Amino acid sequence: MVFNPKGKHLVAGEWLDGAGTFASTPAKGPVHAFAVGTVDLVNRACEAAEEAFWSYGYSSRAERAAFLRAIADEIEARAEAITEIGSQETGLPEARLQGERGRTTGQLRLFADHIESGAYLDRRVDAALPDRQPAARPEIRLVQRPIGPVAVFGASNFPLAFSTAGGDTAAALAAGCPVVVKGHSAHPGTGEIIAEAIEAAIRKTGVHPGVFSLIQGGNREVGHALVQHPLIKAVGFTGSLAGGRALFDLCAARPEPIPFFGELGSVNPMFLLPEALKARAEGLGQGWAGSLTMGAGQFCTNPGIAVVVEGADADRFTATAAEALGKVAPQTMLTDGIAKAYQDGQARFATRNTVKPLVVTESAGRAASPNLFETTGEKFLSDHALGEEVFGPLGLVVRVGSVDEMEHLARGFEGQLTMTIHMDTADLQAARQLLPVLERKAGRVLVNGFPTGVEVVDSMVHGGPYPASTNFGATSVGTLSIRRFLRPVSYQNLPEELLPDDLRA
């Protein structure tokens, strides 16, 4: 199947032009023209989403599950074309995109199974107590209900799993909320072919066409208009700290403030405890280098910092990591903008007197080569910039004098998506000392692993305290992510005929 992009927006079942066009910037292959988004298109999409909510938001769980499965089927029907244009636009290897496509369809089907089971509804019933003294108690029932239309911003680093039909969209649709997607201009063709799959699923299942719209990028006003539209009730976002914080502030400043579920930035520190480092310093150094450079370091869970106790074992770990990183060839980054940001981050580190360079490379154009620096715990805590995310294959080794100093350093970190402990059995007491700090700082705590790779399962938390995300009580991965787009409603003394189907006896 050969995919030739229309270059248009999909708004409630119609493919529409915009105000002018912008050109895609593929890593390889042909350049395509895409219509620029407009505020008028945002209005049309949001109004259609609100209209769709009156049917879709009150549809059965079985109907919504069928829709999610139909989307997965339609994505798989376009598998080869998705891989082709996705690889052209992003430069990602075909195997990576095939895996990401499987993750996308897998989470759609997982969410379908999950909502059919009904457990996510958190149904609660308190029976009436008519004889209670001094006052009778009415019957009260509680269930989670969808909130209304949701805006989703496509991510640059995951053109499938975190974009058009990715986790935020899948979760909102599972909850019963129509979605308006602001496509990412880094991969507009990939966004369009996924939108085409969703449109086909809409036709197949007969849901209201306003349940999904895609408005392409090319205009910053589109994003602002979307988060400020009065019919939008929540926003899902994966992207930079600066961009996410700007949209978060817009959501908070609305006449009716709405929740902004943003995943923004994380350096995902690892703490290598003494006995583990003594036993396998070389293996840990090689493993870290592999995780740090996976996908050119363009993962939100990239482990950018390794904390070690000073000594010969730390020397072995650092030397092994440096040697491994020095052998990694330049890799293509997702966009020119991401490549430029990585180069700026590298330059920021290279000019600081608080770090020592260990592996220094020059990255040009859209290619990135790894870099490695070293510092002490004291210098790290004195220089806030060392704890800021550099999106790409840049690592920092932080040397401390003891496990107590390691704990002190951990307390100084901002919120993270992940924190990792590498330990042996003899490190148990040290790990027990660290764990209370780490679980306050991160949404996911790992032992003896690397955080790149986020399982889509019931128990996953992909979020954390700010600036990792803007809502520490939420996750953007796993079935718990559906709860972001629901709110609890209590029903007091309603006759059964008036209750939502999910609350009837």
- Active-site annotation, residues: 263, 300
- In order of 279, 327, 410, the CA distances from 284 in angstroms are 10, 16, 20
Dihedrals φ, ψ of 78, to 5°? -110, 20
- Please report, as a single letter, which amino acid is at residue 17: D
Token pair in block for residue 333:
């980054």
Contact predicate 482/171, CB 8 Å = yes
* Other residues' Cβ atoms within 10 Å of the Cβ of residue 293: 24
Burial (Cβ within 10 Å: 0-12, 13-18, ≥19) of residue 249 = exposed
b/e map 190-227, b = 16+ CB within 10 Å? bbbbbbbbbbbbbeebebbbbbbbbbbbbbeebbebbb
The DSSP 8-state label assigned to residue 455 in this structure reads -
For residue 300, what are the CA distances in angstroms to 44, 171, 370, 389?
Answer: 33, 19, 16, 9
| CB-CB contact of 276 with 285 (8 Å) | no
Q: What is the DSSP string of 244-313?
A: HHHHHHHHHHSSS---EEEE------EEE-HHHHHHHHHHHHHHHHHHHHGGGG--TT---EEEEESSHH
Distances (CA, A) of 39 to 146, 182, 237, 352, 426: 26, 12, 19, 43, 60
- Joined together, the tokens standing for residue 178 give 């129509």
User: In the chain, what is the straight-line distance between the N-terminal and C-terminal CA atoms, in Å?
Assistant: 49
The closest of 299, 306, 290 to 266, measured between CA atoms, is 299
User: What is the token pair recorded at 297?
Assistant: 């370091």
Radius of gyration of the chain (CA): 24
Place of tokens 């000594």: 311
